[in-house]
Structure 1
Amino acid sequence: MNARDLLKEYVMGGKLMQITTLAGDGAPQTCSVWYDAHFAPDVLRWISRHDRSHSANIRTDSRVSGAIVAIPLDELGQTVRGVSFTGQARELPTVGIDEQIAEFVARWPAAAGALDRTKLMARHTPTRLYEATITQWVLFDEEHFPSDPRQMVATG
Protein backbone atom coordinates (compact mmCIF):
# COMPACT_ATOMS: atom_id res chain seq x y z
CA MET A 1 0.00 0.00 0.00
CA ASN A 2 1.36 3.46 -0.88
CA ALA A 3 1.67 6.41 1.51
CA ARG A 4 -1.39 8.26 0.11
CA ASP A 5 -3.61 5.20 0.50
CA LEU A 6 -2.40 4.64 4.07
CA LEU A 7 -2.95 8.30 4.91
CA LYS A 8 -6.52 8.17 3.60
CA GLU A 9 -7.18 4.96 5.54
CA TYR A 10 -5.86 6.48 8.78
CA VAL A 11 -7.72 9.77 8.37
CA MET A 12 -11.01 8.08 7.42
CA GLY A 13 -10.66 5.65 10.31
CA GLY A 14 -10.02 8.36 12.88
CA LYS A 15 -12.62 10.17 14.91
CA LEU A 16 -10.96 12.92 16.90
CA MET A 17 -8.32 15.34 15.67
CA GLN A 18 -6.27 17.97 17.39
CA ILE A 19 -6.32 21.26 15.54
CA THR A 20 -4.10 24.23 16.27
CA THR A 21 -5.06 27.81 15.48
CA LEU A 22 -3.15 31.05 16.00
CA ALA A 23 -4.33 33.61 18.54
CA GLY A 24 -4.06 37.34 17.86
CA ASP A 25 -0.68 37.49 19.62
CA GLY A 26 0.60 34.59 17.49
CA ALA A 27 0.38 32.02 20.27
CA PRO A 28 -0.73 28.56 19.13
CA GLN A 29 -3.91 27.17 20.68
CA THR A 30 -4.81 23.51 20.30
CA CYS A 31 -8.18 21.84 20.79
CA SER A 32 -9.71 18.45 20.01
CA VAL A 33 -12.69 18.14 17.67
CA TRP A 34 -14.76 15.39 16.04
CA TYR A 35 -14.18 15.55 12.29
CA ASP A 36 -15.34 14.38 8.90
CA ALA A 37 -12.79 13.92 6.09
CA HIS A 38 -13.08 14.20 2.32
CA PHE A 39 -10.47 13.72 -0.39
CA ALA A 40 -9.88 15.23 -3.85
CA PRO A 41 -10.05 17.97 -2.77
CA ASP A 42 -8.62 17.20 0.67
CA VAL A 43 -10.73 18.84 3.37
CA LEU A 44 -11.47 18.20 7.03
CA ARG A 45 -14.72 19.49 8.55
CA TRP A 46 -15.71 19.83 12.18
CA ILE A 47 -18.31 21.56 14.30
CA SER A 48 -17.66 23.95 17.11
CA ARG A 49 -19.27 26.85 18.89
CA HIS A 50 -18.61 30.12 17.06
CA ASP A 51 -17.63 31.79 20.36
CA ARG A 52 -14.78 29.39 21.18
CA SER A 53 -11.29 30.89 21.03
CA HIS A 54 -10.19 28.58 18.19
CA SER A 55 -13.24 29.63 16.15
CA ALA A 56 -12.47 33.31 16.69
CA ASN A 57 -8.83 32.65 15.79
CA ILE A 58 -9.86 31.18 12.42
CA ARG A 59 -11.85 34.31 11.61
CA THR A 60 -8.70 36.45 12.01
CA ASP A 61 -6.00 34.02 10.80
CA SER A 62 -7.02 31.04 8.69
CA ARG A 63 -3.78 29.08 9.13
CA VAL A 64 -4.21 25.79 10.99
CA SER A 65 -2.28 22.64 11.68
CA GLY A 66 -3.29 19.42 13.33
CA ALA A 67 -2.82 15.74 13.96
CA ILE A 68 -4.73 12.49 13.99
CA VAL A 69 -3.43 9.45 15.86
CA ALA A 70 -4.17 6.23 13.97
CA ILE A 71 -3.57 3.65 16.71
CA PRO A 72 -5.14 2.85 20.06
CA LEU A 73 -2.85 4.27 22.71
CA ASP A 74 -1.77 1.62 25.19
CA GLU A 75 1.83 2.20 26.24
CA LEU A 76 5.03 4.07 25.56
CA GLY A 77 7.13 2.44 22.86
CA GLN A 78 4.30 1.35 20.58
CA THR A 79 4.82 1.40 16.84
CA VAL A 80 3.36 4.79 15.88
CA ARG A 81 0.99 5.52 13.00
CA GLY A 82 -0.58 8.91 12.50
CA VAL A 83 -1.07 11.92 10.31
CA SER A 84 -0.33 15.61 10.66
CA PHE A 85 -1.42 18.41 8.39
CA THR A 86 -1.39 22.12 7.67
CA GLY A 87 -4.04 24.08 5.89
CA GLN A 88 -6.36 27.04 5.62
CA ALA A 89 -9.58 26.97 7.63
CA ARG A 90 -12.80 28.89 7.50
CA GLU A 91 -16.19 29.02 9.14
CA LEU A 92 -18.71 27.87 6.55
CA PRO A 93 -21.72 30.08 5.92
CA THR A 94 -24.96 29.26 7.71
CA VAL A 95 -26.86 28.81 4.42
CA GLY A 96 -26.11 26.91 1.22
CA ILE A 97 -24.20 24.10 2.91
CA ASP A 98 -26.85 21.37 2.90
CA GLU A 99 -24.48 18.80 1.35
CA GLN A 100 -21.72 19.49 3.91
CA ILE A 101 -24.22 19.28 6.79
CA ALA A 102 -25.68 16.02 5.46
CA GLU A 103 -22.21 14.48 5.14
CA PHE A 104 -21.22 15.50 8.67
CA VAL A 105 -24.49 14.28 10.20
CA ALA A 106 -24.22 11.00 8.26
CA ARG A 107 -20.95 10.36 10.10
CA TRP A 108 -21.99 11.94 13.41
CA PRO A 109 -25.81 11.61 13.80
CA ALA A 110 -25.71 13.25 17.25
CA ALA A 111 -24.71 16.51 15.49
CA ALA A 112 -28.11 16.81 13.77
CA GLY A 113 -29.58 19.11 16.40
CA ALA A 114 -26.51 21.34 16.49
CA LEU A 115 -26.55 21.66 12.69
CA ASP A 116 -30.30 22.11 12.27
CA ARG A 117 -30.66 24.07 9.01
CA THR A 118 -33.52 26.28 10.26
CA LYS A 119 -31.64 27.24 13.42
CA LEU A 120 -28.43 27.84 11.46
CA MET A 121 -30.15 30.09 8.91
CA ALA A 122 -31.72 32.14 11.74
CA ARG A 123 -28.43 32.03 13.69
CA HIS A 124 -30.31 30.51 16.64
CA THR A 125 -27.59 27.98 17.41
CA PRO A 126 -24.06 28.69 18.62
CA THR A 127 -22.69 25.82 16.54
CA ARG A 128 -21.08 26.32 13.15
CA LEU A 129 -19.47 24.03 10.63
CA TYR A 130 -15.79 24.66 9.87
CA GLU A 131 -13.63 23.42 7.03
CA ALA A 132 -9.88 23.19 6.56
CA THR A 133 -8.50 22.85 3.06
CA ILE A 134 -5.35 20.81 3.49
CA THR A 135 -2.19 22.22 1.92
CA GLN A 136 0.27 19.66 3.31
CA TRP A 137 0.01 16.14 4.72
CA VAL A 138 2.64 14.22 6.65
CA LEU A 139 2.17 10.51 7.27
CA PHE A 140 4.14 9.13 10.21
CA ASP A 141 4.11 5.35 9.99
CA GLU A 142 6.73 3.24 11.79
CA GLU A 143 4.96 0.04 10.75
CA HIS A 144 4.98 0.42 6.96
CA PHE A 145 8.02 2.71 6.66
CA PRO A 146 10.29 1.64 9.54
CA SER A 147 13.49 3.11 8.08
CA ASP A 148 11.89 6.47 7.19
CA PRO A 149 8.53 6.80 8.97
CA ARG A 150 7.97 10.50 8.09
CA GLN A 151 6.43 10.55 4.61
CA MET A 152 5.35 13.76 2.87
CA VAL A 153 2.12 13.04 0.98
CA ALA A 154 0.74 15.19 -1.81
CA THR A 155 -2.76 16.59 -1.51
CA GLY A 156 -5.37 15.47 -4.01
Structure 2
Amino acid sequence: MMNARGLLEEYVMGGKLMQITTLADDGAPQTCSVWYDAHFAPDVLRWISRDDRAHSVNVRTDPRVSGAIVAISLDGLGQTVRGVSFAGQARELPPAGIDEEIAEFVARWPAAADALDRAKLRSGRTPTRLYEATITQWVLFDEQHFPGEPRQVVAAS
Protein backbone atom coordinates (compact mmCIF):
# COMPACT_ATOMS: atom_id res chain seq x y z
CA MET A 1 0.00 0.00 0.00
CA MET A 2 1.19 3.51 -0.77
CA ASN A 3 2.22 5.85 2.04
CA ALA A 4 -0.33 8.69 2.22
CA ARG A 5 2.10 11.13 3.87
CA GLY A 6 4.74 10.49 1.20
CA LEU A 7 2.25 11.01 -1.61
CA LEU A 8 0.92 14.17 0.03
CA GLU A 9 4.42 15.66 0.25
CA GLU A 10 5.16 14.65 -3.34
CA TYR A 11 1.97 16.28 -4.62
CA VAL A 12 2.46 19.48 -2.61
CA MET A 13 6.11 19.83 -3.64
CA GLY A 14 5.23 19.16 -7.28
CA GLY A 15 2.49 21.76 -7.38
CA LYS A 16 2.90 25.40 -8.24
CA LEU A 17 -0.39 27.17 -7.69
CA MET A 18 -2.70 26.76 -4.72
CA GLN A 19 -6.14 28.07 -3.99
CA ILE A 20 -6.32 29.62 -0.54
CA THR A 21 -9.49 30.65 1.25
CA THR A 22 -9.56 33.35 3.90
CA LEU A 23 -12.45 34.78 5.91
CA ALA A 24 -13.70 38.33 5.45
CA ASP A 25 -14.88 40.48 8.37
CA ASP A 26 -18.45 39.30 7.84
CA GLY A 27 -17.33 35.64 7.88
CA ALA A 28 -17.74 35.15 4.14
CA PRO A 29 -15.10 32.90 2.56
CA GLN A 30 -12.91 34.44 -0.15
CA THR A 31 -10.75 32.25 -2.37
CA CYS A 32 -7.81 33.24 -4.52
CA SER A 33 -4.97 31.50 -6.35
CA VAL A 34 -1.34 32.13 -5.36
CA TRP A 35 2.10 30.77 -6.23
CA TYR A 36 3.49 28.97 -3.19
CA ASP A 37 6.54 27.41 -1.59
CA ALA A 38 6.12 24.40 0.72
CA HIS A 39 8.14 23.12 3.68
CA PHE A 40 7.60 20.13 5.92
CA ALA A 41 8.29 19.33 9.59
CA PRO A 42 6.95 21.81 10.46
CA ASP A 43 4.37 21.90 7.68
CA VAL A 44 4.12 25.41 6.24
CA LEU A 45 3.04 26.95 2.95
CA ARG A 46 4.35 30.40 2.00
CA TRP A 47 3.12 32.77 -0.69
CA ILE A 48 3.54 36.36 -1.73
CA SER A 49 0.85 38.90 -2.33
CA ARG A 50 0.19 42.60 -2.19
CA ASP A 51 -0.71 43.75 1.31
CA ASP A 52 -3.91 45.42 0.07
CA ARG A 53 -5.45 42.31 -1.53
CA ALA A 54 -8.62 41.03 0.15
CA HIS A 55 -6.98 37.78 1.25
CA SER A 56 -4.03 39.68 2.74
CA VAL A 57 -6.31 41.98 4.71
CA ASN A 58 -8.35 38.96 5.83
CA VAL A 59 -5.27 37.13 7.17
CA ARG A 60 -4.43 40.13 9.34
CA THR A 61 -7.89 40.08 10.94
CA ASP A 62 -8.61 36.32 11.02
CA PRO A 63 -5.72 33.87 10.59
CA ARG A 64 -7.86 30.86 9.68
CA VAL A 65 -7.24 29.59 6.15
CA SER A 66 -7.97 26.55 4.05
CA GLY A 67 -7.05 25.63 0.54
CA ALA A 68 -6.31 23.08 -2.12
CA ILE A 69 -3.62 21.99 -4.55
CA VAL A 70 -4.49 19.93 -7.64
CA ALA A 71 -1.87 17.28 -8.40
CA ILE A 72 -2.80 16.36 -11.97
CA SER A 73 -2.84 18.04 -15.35
CA LEU A 74 -6.43 18.85 -16.13
CA ASP A 75 -7.75 17.27 -19.31
CA GLY A 76 -11.44 16.70 -18.63
CA LEU A 77 -14.23 15.29 -16.55
CA GLY A 78 -13.77 11.66 -15.59
CA GLN A 79 -10.04 11.81 -14.87
CA THR A 80 -8.62 10.00 -11.88
CA VAL A 81 -8.30 12.78 -9.29
CA ARG A 82 -5.25 13.40 -7.11
CA GLY A 83 -4.90 16.45 -4.91
CA VAL A 84 -4.49 17.86 -1.45
CA SER A 85 -6.57 20.13 0.74
CA PHE A 86 -5.48 21.77 3.97
CA ALA A 87 -6.47 23.99 6.87
CA GLY A 88 -4.28 26.12 9.06
CA GLN A 89 -3.37 29.43 10.62
CA ALA A 90 -1.78 32.12 8.46
CA ARG A 91 0.14 35.28 9.15
CA GLU A 92 1.88 38.06 7.32
CA LEU A 93 5.60 37.70 7.96
CA PRO A 94 7.41 40.81 9.23
CA PRO A 95 9.39 42.85 6.69
CA ALA A 96 12.70 42.13 8.46
CA GLY A 97 14.30 39.03 9.96
CA ILE A 98 13.00 36.67 7.27
CA ASP A 99 16.08 36.37 5.06
CA GLU A 100 15.95 32.56 5.01
CA GLU A 101 12.25 32.50 4.11
CA ILE A 102 12.80 35.05 1.33
CA ALA A 103 15.80 33.11 -0.04
CA GLU A 104 13.78 29.88 -0.12
CA PHE A 105 10.85 31.51 -1.90
CA VAL A 106 13.08 33.25 -4.45
CA ALA A 107 15.02 30.01 -5.05
CA ARG A 108 11.75 28.44 -6.18
CA TRP A 109 10.34 31.56 -7.87
CA PRO A 110 13.26 33.74 -9.11
CA ALA A 111 10.84 36.28 -10.63
CA ALA A 112 9.86 37.23 -7.05
CA ALA A 113 13.32 38.58 -6.24
CA ASP A 114 12.49 42.24 -6.92
CA ALA A 115 9.14 42.09 -5.13
CA LEU A 116 10.84 40.57 -2.06
CA ASP A 117 13.89 42.86 -2.11
CA ARG A 118 14.95 43.07 1.54
CA ALA A 119 15.74 46.80 1.48
CA LYS A 120 12.38 47.61 -0.13
CA LEU A 121 10.55 45.45 2.40
CA ARG A 122 12.28 47.04 5.40
CA SER A 123 11.67 50.57 4.12
CA GLY A 124 8.06 49.89 3.09
CA ARG A 125 8.77 50.69 -0.58
CA THR A 126 6.97 47.62 -1.87
CA PRO A 127 3.37 46.52 -1.33
CA THR A 128 4.42 42.86 -1.58
CA ARG A 129 4.58 40.78 1.57
CA LEU A 130 5.44 37.18 2.34
CA TYR A 131 2.70 35.15 4.06
CA GLU A 132 2.94 31.84 5.86
CA ALA A 133 0.30 29.27 6.78
CA THR A 134 1.12 26.74 9.46
CA ILE A 135 -0.84 23.67 8.45
CA THR A 136 -2.98 22.03 11.12
CA GLN A 137 -4.83 19.54 8.90
CA TRP A 138 -4.10 17.81 5.58
CA VAL A 139 -6.43 15.73 3.44
CA LEU A 140 -5.03 13.71 0.56
CA PHE A 141 -7.58 12.83 -2.13
CA ASP A 142 -6.11 10.17 -4.40
CA GLU A 143 -8.30 7.97 -6.59
CA GLN A 144 -5.25 6.40 -8.20
CA HIS A 145 -3.49 4.99 -5.12
CA PHE A 146 -6.53 4.66 -2.82
CA PRO A 147 -9.40 3.80 -5.20
CA GLY A 148 -11.62 2.29 -2.48
CA GLU A 149 -11.14 5.18 -0.04
CA PRO A 150 -9.57 8.15 -1.86
CA ARG A 151 -9.99 10.61 1.04
CA GLN A 152 -7.05 10.13 3.41
CA VAL A 153 -6.63 12.39 6.46
CA VAL A 154 -2.90 12.90 7.01
CA ALA A 155 -1.50 14.27 10.25
CA ALA A 156 0.29 17.60 10.08
CA SER A 157 3.77 17.71 11.54
Partner of 1:124, secondary structure, is coil
Q: After the TM superposition, which residues 72-91 of structure 1 pair with which residues of structure 2 at under 5 Å, given as runs?
A: 72-91=73-92
Partner of 1:71: 72
Residue 24 of structure 2 aligns with an amino acid whose one-letter code is A
Segments ≥4 residues shifted beyond 6 Å: none
Deviation at 1:38, TM superposition (A): 0.0
- TM-score normalised over the length of structure 1: 1.00
Deviation at 1:149, TM superposition (A): 0.1
Give the unaligned 5+ runs of structure 1.
none
Instruction: Give me the CA root mean square deviation.
Output: 0.3
Partner of 1:143, secondary structure, is coil
Give the unaligned 5+ runs of structure 2.
none
Residue by residue over 1:21-54, the C-alpha shift from the partner in whole angstroms, topping out at 9 and shown as x without a partner, is 0000000000000000000000000000000010
CA distance in 2, matches of 1:57, 1:40: 26
Deviation at 1:74, TM superposition (A): 0.2
Query: How many equivalent pairs are there?
Result: 156
CA distance in 1, matches of 2:77, 2:54: 32
CA distance in 1, matches of 2:109, 2:9: 19
Partner of 2:59: 58
Deviation at 1:135, TM superposition (A): 0.2
Partner of 2:66, secondary structure, is strand
